[in-house]
Structure 1
C-alpha cells in the first residue's frame, strides 16, 4: 500500500517539474481602468490562467503561432495596486504560478484653487485625489518640476510656489503620482502680483496742478502694465496721461492750493493690482510778490493784484509790530487790492507781510519793507561856499547835482549830511535816499545855492585925473553871476566875464580923497562876504589936469603934422597903430592892427612871396627857447614825450596829483593864455601815447575840463599821430579810476563831434565832456580853405561860453604845438577882433611861445592864421545851402546853433 502511494507521489512531482512558470510579465499599456500585460510563450501547447487576487481568474489560450501573449485587464480602479498570479496550464495541470503586482494610472485633481498671489509666490490648494494619502503630486512650470507629498490625515493639499517673478503669467501642470505612476496632468495658469513703481516718483506742482512722472515697472516678459492712481476720495483721473518709452506721465488738474493730497499708485496686470505705492504731495500756496508801495510823508498805500487772476485766493495783510490784521476776500469783482496805512511818521521804516489764504491755510507770506518820505525843506540846511551840511532823519545816502550833471555823492553817517569840496556859488539839487534791501528809495529833493567866493585881490588905480578910480579885482573862483561894487553910495554891477582881472571905472569923485570901496559877489540870490579896501583918488589930479590938457593939445597937433608930413611915405610899410592890446606883451610888438587897416596890412605883408610874414615869423623863432624843462627830462618822464624837441616848460606845465613818492606829476601839457590876460584859459597838450592815456584823462578830470579839441587824426600817412584815448564803440572803458562812455557821436565832412560821460569810480561823480575833432588839417600844413576851420572854431566858442564854470579847454594835435597853437591863436584873436576891433597876431603868438615851444610851428600856419582873420573881415560870398551839420540827437551842435553862429559872424 505504501509503495503505491509513493509511486503516485512521484508521478505528480514529475508532472509539476515538467510545467514551467513564465519568467517575466511586462506592462505594455496602463490607464486609469486597464492594465495590459505581455509575456513570452515557451510552448504552443501551454495555456495560461491569470488570477486577479480577490477578484477573478482569466483563461488565456494563445494561438499556435503566437510567440508572446497580451492580456488586458479591464474594469479596474484608478490609482490602485493590484496583485496577480499567472499559471502555466498543460493538460489540466498547472504550474506553481508566477506572482506579480502593478498599479493603474491615478486620477487627476478635480480643480486647483489659488489662495494667495504675491509678487514672487503663489499659494495653491486642491483636494486629495480619492482622499487617499497614498498619492503624491508633481507640479511642473517653466522648466521647473516640484514633488509634493501628501500629508496624512489631510483631505486637502496646500503648496506655495516660491521664487517667481513679479507680474508674470505662469502655466502649471499638476500630476497625481502613485508608485511612480503619474496621471495625465491637470493644466491651469495664474499670475503673480506686479511690483510697485519705485519710490522715485517725480512731481512738478503748482497751486492747482500736479504732474507726476515715474519709470515703467520692468518684467521679464515685457508685459504692458496699467497704472491706477487713487487718493482717499477714489480714483484720480489724469487729464493728460502718457506712457512713452520707459516713462509714464500723469497730469492732475483742478486741485486746491495748499492742500496735502495722499496718493496710492497701483501697478495692474491681468486685473491683479500691486500692493500700492503710497506717497503724498502738497500743492503750493503761492505768495503775492508783485507788491507796489506808494509812499508819502505820512501814508503808505499797499497795492497788489489777484494771484493768477483766480478768485479762490484770499489775502491777509499784516503790519509788523501791530497785532491787527486786515483780511481781503478774493471773490471781489475788482482785480486789484489796495490798503493805506495812515498817520505814520516821516522817514520811518515799516515792515509788512502779505499772506495768501485758502481754506484757512496761509502761505509762508511775502515780507517787504518800505519807508515814508521826507520834507527836505523841514531840515536846517547849513550852506557855505564849499559845503552843504544838515542833520536829517530817514536817509542813508545823499547826492548833490548841478545843472551839468556833475556833483557829489556821499553816505549819510550818523543822520548827518556832510557834502564838502563843492563848487562855490554853484546851484545844487540835493536829493536824499534811503537804502532799503539793495534799492535806493528817493526821499526828497531840495534846491540849494552855495555862497559864492568873496572877491579876491580888491584894489584901485587912479582914474580920470584924480576925479575917479578904477576898481580892480580878480575873478572869484566858482560860479559868480555878478559882482557889486559900492563906492560913496554908488553901486556898480559887473556881470561875470572871462577877463582877468575885472574892473569898474568910478567917476565923479573928489580929488585927493579917501573912499571905502566894497565888493560883493552874487550867485543867484546868494551873496558872498563883503570885502572892502580904502582907496585914494589922485592927489595931483587938480594941478595935473590942466597941464595934461595943454599937453594933449600939443601932442595932437604934433601928431597931425607928423601924419600929414610922413604918412604918405610910409603907406607901403607895415602900419603900426598906437592902440595898446589887451593881449599883453612887454617884450615884442605891442601894437594892434585896427580891423579897418588889416586888409592893407595883409596886402603889404604878402608882397614878394610873403616876405613880410617870413621876416616876422623868423623874429619869433627864438622866443622862449631858453626856458627850463627839468621835469620833462627826468628819467621817469622821458618816455612820456612824443618828440624830443617838444618838452613842457616847467614854468607853465600842468601838474597832476600824486598818491605817493613813486608817482610822477608830469604830463606833456602846458597852460596857455587866453583873451583878457586869462593865463590858464587853455591847455595845449601833445596827443596821448599808449602809456599816457590814463594821465590824459586824469588831467581832464582834475582840471575840470568840459571841452576837448582834437586837431589831428589818429593815423595820418600810415603813421600813428595820436593814440585813440576814447572807447572804440559804445562799450564803457576804464582809464585808471575814470570810466569813459561814448554817449553820442556824429560825423561830418570835416569834423566829428562826440559827447562822453566820465565817471569817477572812487567818488561816483559823473561829468559830461564834449569832444571836437577836426579831421581836415594835414600835419605841418594848413587846410585847403579857412571857412571850415572858422566855423569849427565858432562851434567850440559857443560851447566854452555856455559852460563858464568849467575848467580850461584842452587842445591837442600830435605834438601839441603846430595845429594846436594855430587854433588857440585863432580863437583868442577872433575874440579880440570882436571886442576891440583890432588884432595883434604876432604879439599873441609870442605870448604863447613863452608858455610852450614852437606854438604855430610853421610859417605856412602863421600865414594861414592871418588869412583866417582876413577872411573873417572880408567873408567870401557863397550860395546858402542847407546846413550839413543837422542832427537832432547831438546835444551841443545843431542847425540852430550853426545858423546863430553864421548870423553873428
Structure 2
C-alpha cells in the first residue's frame, strides 16, 4: 500500500527478481503467490514515460502459517492445557483469549493456561508470529474442569442399594458417578442418588464427578458398603429361668452380629451361630433383634420374641388315698397354667379348670384319680408362662395300698399259728397285730402267698388279729379276724378206767367227742372232758372243737386207749412139771396182749390166744403168777395174781437133765477158750471194769416203762448212761473208708477223723472212669421207714460248696436241716453256702436264689430256688436252720428242739416223696446225729408207743462214725423222750448233777461242754 503519485504512467514493483507493473491508479496491491513466513524486500518505482523513479523500498514478510492440531489436551479447575503442532521459522506464538494475550516461545508445542476460573468456557486463538506478523490464527474452545461436589457421602443403604448425597454444584452440565467400572449420569439438579442392584454386604468405592462442557472434575470419593443380609432362621433354642438361648443360620463374610433387646446391645462373633443371653428375669417376655454387621453397617435386623422359663413351685402338699392323690401348691407369680406329668398321665391346669384341678386364691389343688393302689408315682410339676415350662419340680408320692382280700390260718399249734395271705405285690410289706401286739413288718416273698408263723402264744386261747398292708410308709385299712390256738391234748391229765375217760384241759373248747368206729361219745364243757360207758380196752380218737361265729376250730386230737378188761387165769400141769399151762377166759372188751409173769420173767401172748405154755420150771414147786391184759401199751388196772403148783412127777427126770446140761456148758466154755481166747479176755475185762451192759439196752422200751428206764440209767451219777454210751464207741469202726483217705480227697474233709464209710457214702455223678470226682463227705442214713431217709454230711468248706449244691440237685433234695452256725466262738464251723440276699449266686452249674428268709428266736427258715443253667429246670429247697445249739453241746431246753423237729417233720409229711433230707452240722455227726435220732424216735414213740434209743444210735453208727457224738447228746435224747411223755408242769428228778464232760474244743473232740448241760439241768428243774 502506498500513497498514489499523480501523473504517472504506472508503478513498478520489484522483489526477489520479480517485477510487477501496477496501474497508476492503484494505491494498494496484493502480491500473490508468496511463501508464507518469508521476508521480502520490495522496491516500488513510479514510471512516467518509461522512466522509473528512484524507487522506494519496503521490507515485508508474509504472515506465517497457522499452527495445526491446536486443541485442549487437559484441564482442571484453574487451568487448561493447550497443545499444537509446532510451526518452524517463526518468531513465537501469540495466544489470545478473553482479552488476554500470551506470547509463547516458538519452540513450545504445549502450554498450560493458569489462573482460570473453574467451570468456565474459554475461546483460545493461537497465532504464529514472524517478523511481527501474525498468522490469521487458529481457534480452540475449551473449558476448565468444574469444581468437585462437596460433602459427598453415604446417606443410607440396605442390602441391595446405597444412597449417596452431596452439595450441589451450580453451572455444571451434569454429574457422573463411577464405581465398579460403571458410570451413571446424574442430572445437575440432583443432590442425592440411590445406587441399586448391589450385592449385600459388599464394599463399594464411589467417585462423583461434576461435568461441564464434557469435562469432568477431579472427582470426590466415597467408600460405602451395602447392608449385610439378615441372619436366617433366627429363633429361640431353649431357655431356663434366667437365660434364653438364641440360634440362627450363620451369614458368611460379615464382621460380627449385634443382638439388641431392652436397650441393651451385645456384640457377637461372626463365627457364632448360637448365643445364650443370661442374667434375665424368670417368666418375662423379651423382644430380641439380631443385626448382621459389615463395615459398621447393620442389616435391617430380624426379630425373635422369647420368654424365660418361669420358676418352679416351691413345694407340694400331698394327700393320698388308694386310687387317688391330692396335690396342693402355691401359685408362682400368680400364674394360672401348670402341667402335671406322672407315670400314666398328663394334666394341664389352665384358666379353665379341668381334670379335677381347681385354683383358689394363691393356691392350686389337683386330684389325680384312677391310680393303682399301693404304687409309687413319680410326678413332675411344670409352671407354664406363654407356653414355656419351668425346669420342673420333681417329687414322688405313693398311693395307699389295698387291704388284703383274705387271710387264712393254715396251721394252728398250741404255741404258734401260721397265717397265710395273698401276696398282692412283692414290693409291699405287711404288719400283723395280734391282740394289740404289733409284730415287725413282714416282707412279701417271691411267691404268690406270704406265710407268717406267730410264736410264743398261749394254748387254747382266742386271738384277734389284724393285717395291714404297708407301702412307702402308708398303711391300708386293716383286715381283721380271729383265731384260736390249739390245745395240747397230750399234756392233759387224762384219767382213764376201763369204762371212762376224764381230764381237765387248759384252753378253749366247746365240745369234746370220743370216736371208736361208729361209736361216738360227746362231752360238753369248757374245761372238763368226761366220757363214760366206754368199751374196755378200746382206743378212742378224742377231738376237742371250739365253735364261735359259725366257725369251727379243731383244737386237738388225741388217741387214747382205756384200761383193758382184767383177766381171770389159772394154771394146769404140763410136761411133768417142767412146764406149766396157764389159761384164762376171753374177757369182755378189747385187748391186744396178755403179759404172764412167772419168777420175774414176762411172757407176752397176743390176742386172741388165751393160753401159754411156759418151760423151765421144777416139778413139785409153787410159783407166783401174775396175768395182766394189755391194749396196746395200756395195761389193765391190776394184774390177776395167783400161785401155780407144778407137776411133782418130773423131779427125777429134771435132775438128770440138769447134770447133762451142766456138762454141755462146761464143754462149750472150754471150746471157746481154745478157739477164741480173745473173746474170753475181753468179756472178762469188761466185767471187771464194770462196763458190762444189760442185754436189754438194744430193745425198744415201752412208753409206760420209759420213766423207770430213764431213772435206772440216771442212778450213781448217770452210770447207766455212761455204760450204754461207752458200748457204742466201737460200733462200725472196722468198716473201710478207702475213698475218703485218697490224697485227692483229703482236702475235702473238714476233720481227718470223721470220714464216710465206703459202702454207704453218697456218690456224685461223674464221667471220670476212676470215680475220683464223685467224692463228698456224706453218708446215707436210716430213718423210721427206710434206710435212706437222710443224708448226714459235714458243713461245706469253701472248696466243697459247689459239690454240696451238686449233691442237693442230684439227690432231688427238698429240704436242708442245718444245726450249726457259720461262726461259733470266733471260729468258722461252716462256710455260708447260700446267697446273703435275694441276689442270685452261681454255684457250679446251679443258680441259687434266696426267695425268702424268716428269722425266729431259735431258728431261721429260708426258701431257695435252684435253676440248672444247662437244662433251665427249676426246683425249690426249704432251709431249716436251727441257731440255738452250741458246738459239742445241747440246746438250753428240749422244747425248742422238739418244736423245730416238728416244723421239719411237717414239711416232710406234707411234701412227701422219696428224696432224702440233708442234715448237717459242722462235722456232721454230733448235732446231726442227735436231730436225726430225735425225729426217728418220736415217730417210733407215736406209732409203737415204745422207743429204742440205744438201738437206733447203734444203727446210725453203722452208717457214719460218731453219730450222737457226745454222752451229753445221748442223755439229751432221753430227756427229749421224757419231756414228750410227761406233762410240762411235772417236776422231774434232776439227773444231770455233777455230770463231767471233757471240754476239749479240738476238731476231733468227742465230748461236750459241761456248762450247756448244767443250763439244761436248771431248765428241767424249773420246768
Per the TM superposition, whether the score is higher than 0.5 is: yes
Q: 1:519 to 1:577 in 2, by over 3 A?
A: farther
Cα RMSD for the two superposed structures: 7.7
Q: Does residue 1:158 correspond to 2:201, yes or no? A: no
The aligned residue for residue 32 of structure 1 is: 77
Question: Which position in structure 2 is the counterpart of 1:183?
Answer: 217
Change in CA separation of 1:797 and 1:772 when aligned onto 2, cut-off 3 Å:
same
In structure 1, what is the Cα distance between the partners aligned to 2:1012 and 2:211? 121
Deviation readout 1:439-487 (Å, 9 max, x if unpaired): 998643325578999999x9xxx9989578899xxxxxxxx99998859
Question: Pick from 688, 692, 715: which aligns with 1:574?
Answer: 692
Quick one: distance in 2 between partners of 1:204 and 1:422?
Answer: 56
CA–CA separation in structure 1 for the residues paired with 2:931 and 2:903: 19
Decide whether aligned partners of structure 1 residues 737 and 807 sit closer, same or farther in structure 2, where only a CA change above 3 A counts: farther
CA deviations 1:734-789 (Å, max 9, x no partner) are 787862289899xxxxxxx9978647699x99999575799xxxxxxxxxxxx962
Q: Alpha-carbon deviations, 1:65-112, whole Å to 9, x = none? A: x74376543454434565534221112433354555544223212344
Q: What is the match of residue 13 of structure 1?
A: 34
Aligned to 1:302: 326
Task: Identify which range, 395-404 or 288-297, moves more after superposition.
Answer: 395-404
Look up the match of 2:805. 693
1:228 CA drift (Å): 1.0
User: Structure 1 CA distance, aligned partners of 2:719 and 2:293?
Assistant: 116
What is aligned with 2:182? 146
Q: 2:305 aligns with which of 272, 277, 280?
A: 280
Is contact 1:114–1:123 with CA below 8 Å preserved after alignment? yes
Paired residues for 1:439-518 under 5 Å: 443-447=476-480, 512=536, 517-518=541-542
Q: Does 1:193 align with 2:203?
A: no
Q: Give the direction of change, closer, same or farther, for the CA distance of 1:248–1:794 in structure 2 (3 Å limit).
A: same
Q: What do the CA deviations read for 1:200-227 (whole angstroms, capped 9, x no partner)? A: 5444335x6542344797674735x532
> What is the match of residue 643 of structure 1?
775
Contact 1:121 1:163 in 2 (8 A): yes
- Higher relative CO (Cα under 8 Å, sequence separation at least 6) belongs to 1
CA contact 1:485–1:492 (8 Å) conserved in 2 = no
Q: Indicate conservation of the 8 Å contact 1:264/1:276, yes or no.
A: yes
Query: 1:577 and 1:691, CA in 2 relative to 1: closer, same or farther beyond 3 A?
Result: closer
Gaps of at least 5 residues in structure 1 are 230-234, 412-418, 472-479, 495-503, 559-565, 655-668, 673-681, 746-752, 775-786, 880-895
Q: 1:145 to 1:433 in 2, by over 3 A?
A: farther
Closer/same/farther in 2, CA of residues 572 and 158 from structure 1, 3 Å limit: same
Q: 2:553 aligns with which of 515, 527, 548?
A: 527
Once the two structures are superposed, residues 214-264 of structure 1 have per-residue CA deviations (whole angstroms, 9 ceiling, x without a partner) of 4797674735x53212xxxxx3669x999898454323644548xx76654
Report the alpha carbon displacement of residue 46 of structure 1 after superposing the two structures with TM. Answer: 0.8
Matched, 1:845 2:953: yes
From the superposition, tell whether residues 157 and 324 of structure 1 become closer, same or farther in structure 2 (CA, over 3 Å): closer
1:813–1:819 CA contact under 8 A, matched in 2: no
Contact 2:496 2:562 in 1 (8 A): no
SS at the partner of 1:790? Answer: coil
Task: Find out whether 1:594 has 2:713 as its counterpart.
Answer: yes
1:538 maps to 564
- Residue aligning to 1:227: 259
How far apart in 2 are the matches of 1:642 and 1:519? 51
- The answer (yes or no) to whether the contact 1:455–1:520 under 8 Å persists in 2 is no
The answer to whether the 8 A contact 2:822-2:830 is kept is no
Q: Describe the shift of the 1:816–1:106 C-alpha distance in structure 2 as closer, same or farther (beyond 3 A).
A: same
Aligned length: 747
C-alpha distance after superposition, 1:609-650 (max 9, x if no partner): x9x66644458889x999999998899999998429967589
Residue 790 (str. 1) matches residue 888 (str. 2): yes
Residue deviations 1:282-325, cap 9 Å, x none? 5657897946223389xx883533256x66569999999x9997
Q: 1:528 to 1:329 in 2, by over 3 A?
A: same
The residue aligned with 1:885 is: none
2:912 maps to none
Q: CA, structure 1 residues 248+111, in 2 after alignment: closer, same or farther (shift >3 Å)?
A: same
Q: Distance in 2 between matches of 1:584 and 1:539?
A: 20
Residue 276 of structure 1: CA displacement? 2.8
SS in 2 for 1:843: helix
- Cross-structure match for 1:498: none
CA distance in 1, matches of 2:875, 2:330: 42
Residue 118 (str. 1) matches residue 158 (str. 2): yes
Per-residue Cα deviation, 1:362-407 (whole angstroms, up to 9, x for no partner): 999999999888777xx8988787999999xx99999989889588
The structure with the greater share of residues assigned to strand is 2
- Deviating more after overlay: 73-82 vs 631-640: 631-640
Q: Structure 2 stretches of 5 or more lacking a match? A: 1-9, 12-19, 39-61, 341-346, 413-417, 433-438, 458-462, 516-520, 571-581, 585-593, 603-622, 625-683, 738-755, 868-873, 909-914, 973-991, 1000-1010
The answer on whether the counterparts of 1:406 and 1:767 sit within 8 Å (CA) in structure 2 is: no
Which protein is bigger by CA-based radius of gyration?
2
Task: Please say which of residues 527-536 and 272-281 is displaced more in the overlay.
Answer: 527-536
Over residues 338-359 of structure 1, what are the superposed CA-to-partner deviations in whole Å (9 max), with x where a residue is unaligned?
9999xx9x9999x9x9999999
User: What residue is the counterpart of 1:726 in the other structure?
Assistant: 834
Aligned partners of 1:451 and 1:109: how far apart in 2? Answer: 121
Aligned equivalents of 1:359, 1:683: Cα separation in 2: 75
Aligned to 1:820, the other structure's residue is in SS state: coil
Separation of aligned partners in 2, 1:482 and 1:712:
49
SS in 2 for 1:204: strand
Structure 1 position 60, deviation (Å) = 0.9
Query: In the TM superposition, what are the counterparts of 1:863-882 in structure 2 within 5 Å?
Result: 865-866=966-967
Which structure 2 residues correspond to residues 130-529 of structure 1 after superposition, within 5 A? 130=170, 132-133=172-173, 136-139=176-179, 144-150=180-186, 155=190, 158-160=193-195, 162-166=197-201, 172-176=206-210, 182-206=216-240, 209-214=242-247, 220=253, 222=255, 225-229=257-261, 235=262, 246=272, 248-251=275-278, 253-254=280-281, 256=283, 263-266=288-291, 273-281=298-306, 290=316, 292-295=318-321, 302-306=326-330, 327-331=358-362, 405=442, 443-447=476-480, 512=536, 517-520=541-544, 527-528=553-554
Tell me if the contact between 1:452 and 1:527 (Cα under 8 Å) persists in the aligned partners. no
- Residues in 1 aligned to 2:903 and 2:510: alpha-carbon distance in whole angstroms: 13
1:671 and 2:789 correspond: yes
Provide closer, same or farther for how the CA distance between residues 695 and 773 of structure 1 changes in structure 2, counting only shifts above 3 A. farther
The CA distance in 1 between the partners of 2:732 and 2:453, in whole Å, is 42
How far apart are the structure 1 equivalents of 2:427 and 2:823? Answer: 44
